[in-house]
Amino acid sequence: MKTQSDHYLSNSIPVPVTAAESSQQLSVQVESLKNELRRLQSLAALGELTSTATHEFNNILMTILNYARLGIRNKDEASRDKALTKILEASERAAKITQTILAQARNRSDSMTPTDLGSIIQDAMFLLEREMRKYRVSVEMDIHPDTPSAMANGNQIQRVLLNLLINARQAMPDGGTILVRLRPAHEKEFVELVVRDSGEGIPREKLPRIFDAFYSTKSGPDESGKGGTGLGLAACKEIVDAHRGRIRVESTIGRGTAFVLKIPRATDQSAAVDVD
Ligand SMILES: Nc1ncnc2c1ncn2[C@@H]1O[C@H](COP(=O)(O)OP(=O)(O)O)[C@@H](O)[C@H]1O
Ligand SMILES: [Mg+2]
């Protein structure tokens, strides 16, 4: 009588395949693994974003609670006005954070449109402002006003920026400085985005591996739930490649690291939308 395992075995006897067939099977498998990796990368990014939002919300809630108590305790008009103003500001901040997260979660399209990277930088900084303060990291922004729009997917570039900024912050456990610079690149078809930190740097022999998926020197996520997957820079590279851009890294041990990105400019044609 045929047992369950016989049945299983008879099903798994390899059928001879030609070299062409097996190479075709392999490329199908590689494609499906790549898709799986992309899904993992975007889940990891969403996880980090959710973690940022949860910390921010907790903080905002504390502000709202404290000012609500203050307003109830102090009956005079000036104190109540102050309390309500603080509560309003905190709520507006919460609403803006929710909008940013929802936009990331909803908009999965790969479409590229003329995009002002300056405002993407502002949004990313808005999300990370408190976290940077907490880790004693000061952020300097240098956004050249004559930088043209890039042909880009705003959500994806924001993911790149958040990854680079969080890596930079994690490379400076005792605090430091991050410079974010946006300007027209020397090559006239690109805009240049630089994220530079004053952190620990990356040893030369490790540099070639940092863009590999799952390569990480961190023991796991930090207390704010970020890093340790080794998926951040792999996602950055993939996104920049999809933009037909470039990403380059310069690093000096003990001095810091800079990631230099070149993203194609939106051409005049691509910027001229909906005019007749
Ligand atoms: N700004 C940086 N300074 C120093 N090392 C960095 C920096 N950015 C990335 N790295 C190194 O590259 C590795 C891979 O980064 P990433 O793909 O974002 O994964 P993860 O942050 O999850 O470790 C990090 O573990 C770290 O060793
Ligand atoms: Mg990372």
| Amino acid code (one letter) for 175 | G
Does pLDDT of 220 surpass 80? yes
Does pLDDT of 83 surpass 70? yes
- Ligand 1 neighbourhood includes 100 CB (under 6 angstroms): no
163 Cα nearest atom in ligand 1: 18
CATH assignment of 112-271?
A: 3.30.565.10
pLDDT of the residue at 64:
96
Q: Tell me the CA–centroid distance for residue 76 and ligand 1, in Å.
A: 52
Confidence class of residue 268 from pLDDT cuts 50, 70 and 90?
A: low
pLDDT of the residue at 135:
96
Question: How much of the chain, in percent, has pLDDT values that exceed 90?
Answer: 68
> For residues 38 and 43, what is the distance between their CA atoms, to the nearest angstrom?
9
For 52, the enclosing helix (H) or strand (E) is: helix 19-73
pLDDT of the residue at 235:
93
Domain ranges of the chain: 112-271
Q: Tell me the CA–centroid distance for residue 204 and ligand 1, in Å.
A: 13
Q: What is the pLDDT of residues 180-190, one digit of tens each?
A: 999 999 999 99
Q: Which residue is associated with the tokens 């009956």?
A: 75
- Ligand 1 neighbourhood includes 168 CB (under 6 angstroms): yes
Pocket test for ligand 1, best of 233, 239, 257 (most atoms within 8 A of CB): 233
Q: What is the pLDDT of residues 1-59, one digit of tens each?
A: 444 444 455 556 666 778 888 899 999 999 999 888 888 888 888 888 888 888 889 99
Does pLDDT of 71 surpass 70? yes
pLDDT of the residue at 63:
95
* Mean residue pLDDT across the chain: 89
Pocket test for ligand 1, best of 210, 219, 248, 261 (most atoms within 8 A of CB): 210
Strands (E), the chain: 113-115, 137-143, 150-152, 176-184, 190-197, 246-252, 256-264
